Amino acid sequence: MKTLSAEKRDTEAKAAQPVKYDASPVEVAQYIAEFTAELSYLARKGRLDLLAYLLDMARLEAIRTVQAEGRKA
């Protein structure tokens, strides 16, 4: 049986490894746009206005990326 510290080390080691995605950059940007919209909504409900604003900026950048790739195709 692993100790708590050994489990923590295993978890940290896994987190340090690069994650491989099968999604394209456009798919990732689309996901980020959708997810940040939800997070922004939650931030506004929690009266975390600056955080909501920053999430909105990330959402707009993701949307811009998706639109720019759509124009290239």
- Expressed as residue numbers, the domain containing 30 is 23-72
In a domain, 61, yes or no: yes
Evaluate if residue 2 carries a pLDDT over 60: no
Structure confidence at residue 1 (pLDDT)? 54
In a domain, 64, yes or no: yes
In a domain, 60, yes or no: yes
The total of structural domains in the chain comes to 1
In a domain, 12, yes or no: no
18: enclosing H helix or E strand: none
- Which pLDDT tens digit goes with each residue over 44-73? 999 999 999 999 999 999 999 999 988 887
The overall pTM is greater than 0.75: no
In a domain, 13, yes or no: no
Structure confidence at residue 10 (pLDDT)? 73
In a domain, 10, yes or no: no
> How many other CB atoms are there within 10 angstroms of residue 32's CB atom?
17
- Stronger pLDDT, 22 or 7, i.e. the higher one: 22
Evaluate if residue 43 carries a pLDDT over 60: yes
> How many other CB atoms are there within 10 angstroms of residue 52's CB atom?
19
In a domain, 2, yes or no: no
